[in-house]
Structure 1
Amino acid sequence: MELRKKIDAILGTVLAIIMGVMVVNVLWQVFTRFVMGVPSSFTDELARYLMIWVGVLGAAYISGRRMHVAIDLLPTKLNKEGQVKLKIFVNIIIILFCLFALVVGGFRLVYITSILKQSSPALQIPLSVVYFVIPISGILIIYYKISDILNKQL
Structure 2
Amino acid sequence: MNKVVSILDSLLSKFCIFLTVILVACVVWQVFSRYVLSTPSTVTDEMARFLFIWVGLMGAAYTLGQKKHLAMDFLLMSLEGRSKASLQFIIDLACVFFAGVVMLYGGGTLMEKTLSVGQLSPALGVQMGLIYLALPLSGFFMLAYLLRDLWASLQTFAFSHH
TM-score (norm. length: structure 1):
0.95
User: Matches of 2:148 and 2:77 in 1, distance apart?
Assistant: 24
Q: Which amino acid aligns with 2:59?
A: G
User: Matches of 1:55 and 1:10 in 2, distance apart?
Assistant: 16
Q: Does 1:116 align with 2:147?
A: no
User: Matches of 1:37 and 1:72 in 2, distance apart?
Assistant: 49
Q: Output aligned runs, 1:65-80, within 5 Å.
A: 65-80=66-81
Residue 140 of structure 2 is matched in structure 1 by: 139
- Which structure has the highest helix share of the two? 2
TM-score (norm. length: structure 2):
0.90
User: Matches of 1:149 and 1:114 in 2, distance apart?
Assistant: 33
How far apart are residue 67 of structure 1 and its match?
Answer: 0.4
User: Matches of 2:84 and 2:152 in 1, distance apart?
Assistant: 16
Residue 27 of structure 2 is matched in structure 1 by: 26
Q: Please state whether the residue corresponding to 1:42 is helix, strand or coil.
A: helix
User: Matches of 1:41 and 1:116 in 2, distance apart?
Assistant: 24
Residue 88 of structure 1 is matched in structure 2 by: 89
How far apart are residue 91 of structure 1 and its match?
Answer: 0.4
User: Matches of 2:132 and 2:15 in 1, distance apart?
Assistant: 16
Q: Please state whether the residue corresponding to 1:113 is helix, strand or coil.
A: helix
Q: Which amino acid aligns with 2:45?
A: D
User: Matches of 2:87 and 2:150 in 1, distance apart?
Assistant: 12
5+ long unaligned stretches in structure 1: none
How far apart are residue 120 of structure 1 and its match?
Answer: 0.2
Q: Does 1:39 align with 2:40?
A: yes
User: Matches of 1:10 and 1:21 in 2, distance apart?
Assistant: 17
1:74-133 Cα offsets, whole Å, 9 max, x none, are 223322221111111100110011111111101110111111100100000000000001
Pairs aligned (count): 154
Percent identical residues:
32
After TM superposition, where is structure 1 displaced by more than 3 Å over at least 4 residues in a row?
Answer: 151-154
Q: Which amino acid aligns with 2:86?
A: K
Deviates more, 1:73-82 or 1:50-59: 73-82
User: Matches of 2:141 and 2:26 in 1, distance apart?
Assistant: 27
How far apart are residue 73 of structure 1 and its match?
Answer: 2.2
5+ long unaligned stretches in structure 2: 157-162
Q: Please state whether the residue corresponding to 1:71 is helix, strand or coil.
A: coil
How far apart are residue 149 of structure 1 and its match?
Answer: 2.3
How far apart are residue 3 of structure 1 and its match?
Answer: 1.0
